[in-house]
Amino acid sequence: LGFISEIGYRTVVDHPCKSTALILFPTVEIACQAVALLKQAPVTAVELMDRAALRSVQDKPDMPAYLHALDDEVAALLVDVRAADPETLKLQVAEILAVLKNIQLVREAEFTFDSVAYQALWNIRKGLFPAVGAVRTTGTTVIIEDIAFPVPQLAAAVRGLHQLFEKYHYHEALIFGHALEGNLHFVFTQDFGTTAEVQRYQGLMDEVCTLVVGEYGGSLKAEHGTGRNMAPFVEMEWGSDAYRLMWQLKRLFDPANLLNPGVILNEDAEIHLKNLKPLPPADPLIDKCIECGFCEPICPSRNLTLTPRQRIVSWREISRLKKSGEDAQRLARFEHDFAYQGLDTCALDGLCAIECPVGIDTGKLTRQIRQSQHGSAAARIGDWVDRHFSTVAATTRAGLRLAALSQDLLGDRLMGKTSGLMRRLSGERIPQWNPAMPRAAGKLPASVTDVPGRNGTVVYFPSCVSRTMGPAKSDPFQADLHQVMQSLLYKAGYRVIIPERPEGLCCGMALESKGLLAQADQSLLRLEQALWAASEQGRYPVLCDTSPCTFRMLEQIRQPLQIHEPVGFINRYLLEHLRRTSQMASVALHITCTSRKMGLADEMRRLAQQCAQQVFLSEDKGCCGFAGDKGFTRPELNASALKRLKASLPADCEMGISNSRTCEIGLSLHAGLSYQSIVYLVDRCFEAEYPA
């Protein structure tokens, strides 16, 4: 009937000190007795979970082992408590334990004060909804409803729901909820493909509504918005007089029925059984997706084109149209739009898999689709690039030298305009130049094997990016990364071996991102053979200076090589042989997607804190959107992903640091601050502990 024009938030303090316990009770009735007692205790939250809920997550990583041995009647309460200081927190926990002293428990209640264990227990609660989706039959959908009961009726209501699930054969259904308010969620899977299945669903929903309203005086909607699934039952809950008044107001303010028609008020008693959205099979990579949207906040293209969820929905529709053959024009429009919206602007960063409750990496789907769309010409080009990579790298360096000369002659402003014009005239085939563009890197020295290493030997593989791209004109450090990396290794007393003929070696990531998977694997195999030989069959560790390349090597190389990227290698092997001689005042830190996937976020932060008095994390956990060469070919993706970067950094920040050269280009451009590898910072701030 209207819209919200202004909102004022009444916020609560997010206390720094937190503790939680997963408390197990023999039955749901005893758990609900505890809820009534805890309502008067200093708790922040009390989450109820039935045995089916616990069973759905018990096999996931980091879950407590005792979950497997519980009886079928067991119910759990996840009790959370928070305070401003540790002493108050301990007093609150003691008070809660005293409240539960006379309540029967399955095992002694243990509150954890460890942040990792705390998060692991909360992951049980957060993983319940998607856990059902992970095991559903392909083609079925996941239904979640939220209802509420008076707290004294909670136990009986849970029993009633269990009986209905048993009656209608929803054996996978589970119940959880915010127990202090009597708010329950129930989750189950549903096939809408047959009349019998729709009738089964109708029977369940009819009886659930009767149970909630008729038997226990509850609410059919507790905390989430209503919709067509509950529209036929609004009159049951509110009564005929109130329902009639609702319609009078609706028709008074919206006589043409334009505002959200049929969603809250609907005269069709079977509207919840019509227009049911299917989840048709499209590809095994994405068929487990329940479209929950957990992936969306982290996607770099979320404000430009599509999120991972939207890519999956779009591909499902394309696949459905292809199989049905029902609307060729609609299919053609979808495929045309998806080429840019779904494929060209996917960063392939894989962070969606980290956020996804069932681990779906939408980037893998993008690569697969790109691969399927390549013809023989693309494969031949990929083969040529793979076989002549040293020529490609040399040509790239020549192009960067020409761009640097033009920058010096024309200046940044005229160079930018000229580059933009050339890009438009080429149909956006020529990459967009920007002031953060690197200059050509110098050639590598010959393989170094005769310099003694008092503390060890390492095989150093300079990635193709660091071999071709040097610093930008405005960067504070003007040495090439491979020079600085070797300088740091020598300071720490390490002998450095560079593989034979490194100019032709590449991990294949650039080819893989284009969907040229066979050619990418050929490149990686050649690199693997070179590293295996240089390391004397795995005797020496291997160091790569770029995190995305390292991640691909770790994932794909089969030989038992000890592969490291700079942050981990510096922390584990170099710092003990170095002494800090200086610190910068403040730096901005960007943690790359692959560093996060390798579990290096905390290590990178600690290393930065060794080199700077203040370290600012400019983004929480997102991707910069440069995505290899996308920052050159689709600069709008990088711009959209980093649109808030500059405003998030303090004015006195001296420089930015990361560990991927291409990411650093986009970060420098959009932050107005030079970003370089963290290796530069460590080399600046540390010297050899015992100079040679």
Pair of tokens at residue 98: 């005293």
Range of the domain at 436: 431-692
Asked which of 343, 373, 403 is the last residue of a domain, the reply is: 373
> Residues 145, 68: one domain?
no
DSSP class per residue in 537-569: TTTS-EEES-HHHHHHHHHH--S---EE-HHHH
> Residues 472, 577: one domain?
yes
The answer to whether 168 and 196 have CB atoms below 8 angstroms apart is no
The predicted structure's pLDDT at residue 652: 87
User: What's the mean per-residue pLDDT of the chain?
Assistant: 91
> Residues 556, 485: one domain?
yes
- Farthest-apart Cα atoms in the chain, separation: 93
Asked which of 273, 307, 325 is the last residue of a domain, the reply is: 273
End-to-end alpha carbon distance in the chain: 79
The pLDDT tens digits of the residues spanning 542-563 come to 999 999 999 999 999 999 999 9
pTM: 0.84
Phi, psi (rounded to 5 degrees) for 615: -125, 120
Classify residue 117: in a domain, yes or no: yes
Pair of tokens at residue 383: 């083969």
Which residues are CB-contacts of 343 (< 8 A; sequence separation ≥ 6)?
366, 369, 370
The count of other CB atoms within 10 Å of the CB of residue 673 is 21
The pLDDT tens digits of the residues spanning 315-328 come to 999 999 999 888 89
Long-range residue pairs from 164-169, CB within 8 A, at least 24 positions apart, any chain: 164/204, 164/207, 164/208, 164/211, 165/204, 167/207, 168/200, 168/203, 168/204, 168/207, 169/200
Classify residue 51: in a domain, yes or no: yes
> Residues 602, 521: one domain?
yes
Classify residue 170: in a domain, yes or no: yes
pLDDT of 1 strictly over 60: no
Q: Which of 56-65, 128-137, 261-270 has the highest mean pLDDT?
A: 261-270
Which amino acid, residue 175? Answer: I
Place of tokens 């009349």: 195
> Residues 191, 51: one domain?
no
> Residues 107, 175: one domain?
no
For 602-667, what is the HEC assignment?
HHHHHHHHHHEEEEEECCCCCCCCCCCCHHHHCHHHHHHHCCCHHHHCCCCCCEEEECCHHHHHHH
> Residues 486, 588: one domain?
yes
pLDDT of 514 strictly over 90: no
> Residues 455, 536: one domain?
yes
> Residues 440, 461: one domain?
yes
Distance CA 431, CA 629 (A): 9
> Residues 614, 519: one domain?
yes
Classify residue 565: in a domain, yes or no: yes
CATH number (domain holding residue 87): 3.30.70.2190
The predicted structure's pLDDT at residue 569: 95
Q: How many residues does the chain have?
A: 692
Percent of the chain predicted with pLDDT > 70: 98
Classify residue 639: in a domain, yes or no: yes
The whole-angstrom distance between residue 267's C-alpha and the CA centroid of its chain comes to 42
DSSP class per residue in 309-347: HHHHHHHHHHHHHHHH---HHHHHHHHHHHIIIIIIT--
Asked which of 81, 97, 126 is the last residue of a domain, the reply is: 126
The count of other CB atoms within 10 Å of the CB of residue 674 is 20
Pair of tokens at residue 112: 């954890």
Place of tokens 């450095």: 496
Classify residue 176: in a domain, yes or no: yes
CATH number (domain holding residue 265): 3.30.70.2740
pLDDT of 303 strictly over 70: yes
The pLDDT tens digits of the residues spanning 391-406 come to 988 999 999 999 999 9
Number of domains in the chain: 4
| Mean local confidence (pLDDT), 585-590 | 93
Classify residue 11: in a domain, yes or no: no
> Residues 237, 303: one domain?
no
Determine the 3-state secondary structure of 187 from DSSP: strand
> Residues 120, 215: one domain?
no
Classify residue 400: in a domain, yes or no: no
Q: Where are the alpha helices (DSSP H) in 186-327?
A: 195-209, 234-238, 240-253, 308-324
pLDDT of 357 strictly over 90: no
